[in-house]
Amino acid sequence: MIYLASQSPRRRTLLAQLGVGFETLDVAIDETPQAGETPDALARRLAAGKVLAGRACLDDADAHLVLGADTVVVLDGEPLGKPRDGDDAARLLMRLSGRCHQVLSAVALASADGTRVRLSRSRVCFRELARPECEAYAASGEPLDKAGAYLRHPGPRRRLRARASRQLLGRRRAAALRDGGASARSGGLAVGREGQEGMPMKRIDTELKKVGNWLVDGFHLLGLFVIGGTVVWAAVHEYLQMIQQGRAALDGILLLFIYLELGAMVGIYFKTNHLPVRFLLYIAITALTRLLAVDAKTMPDQHILVITGAIVLLVLAVIAITVVRYKYPGEETR
């Protein structure tokens, strides 16, 4: 189960867009920068702090994934926090007016193996903003819980805010205002908006896939060890029976060959992650040969013909695969 350690409705919406099932944990931590702390370190610490606080809310935290994120707006090396009120929001927007700044988005993913934190950066440039524009945007209430006092926010609220702004400021100013006055440019290159919207979704998607792949690989390896251990146990058991009987019959020797081929197949699959088809054919040939050796005397003639024909077909298949691999050495035959 995935838990999102965030009080942000926007982050919940973004994560839902990935099609991932999750539940939310309302966590609150102290976001005050520490003495001498860099903006990068601040963003990482806050994201990690949220997931650790989220894990503390769970009784069986090791059985779940906890995701958290934090955004830090940086101007002249100084992190700009969330505004205290509307006046503070307008003040922050005026500081950003006509200048470029950085948006740092850190995402943390906590599991039983520990906490991983990744950081993404965006460069955002504002056009020149007039004081009435900043005050009107601050009066909408939206920037009060946003780092840097702004957010790119598509949807109904943008349209409502734009409608109110047109009455006060005119169409041209309102069009720029509904994007928070931001122009996403970086030396002529487009800047991804996902970091500005609260979470770097591509990075989160990548991290979740890594965890999923790790779980699949873990079960994969566990299954190989179980199969390999079973083959070894069966081979040892058969060999001990031969010792107890004081003789080695043909059917027992052929059975040991089958176990040997199974073990080799598991080893090759473990090393290359490819299933060696030829070993499956070898096992089938050995098993059918063992059947003939044990039951030929009591088996009807037509059954003997069918089994013999099957062995011939399997041998031809092995020869065909060998020829193909020799003729096309760059191709994988699975």
Residues 6 or more apart whose CB falls under 8 angstroms from that of 222 comprise none
C-alpha span between 321 and 334 (Å, rounded): 10
**Element spanning 289, H or E:** helix 277-295
Phi, psi of 142 (to 5 degrees): -65, -40
Q: Which entry of 30, 70, 87, 145 is annotated as an active-site residue?
A: 70
Longest distance between any two alpha carbons in the chain, whole Å: 102
| Residues paired with residue 22 on neighbouring β-strands, in sequence order | 2
**Has 70 been annotated as catalytic?**
yes
DSSP per position, 173-229: HHHHHTTTTEE-EETTEEPPSTTTTTS-HHHHHHHHHHHHHHHHHHHHHHHHHHHHH
Tokens 């052929």 locate to 254
Residues 6 or more apart whose CB falls under 8 angstroms from that of 314 comprise 281, 284, 285, 288
Which positions are annotated as active-site residues? 70
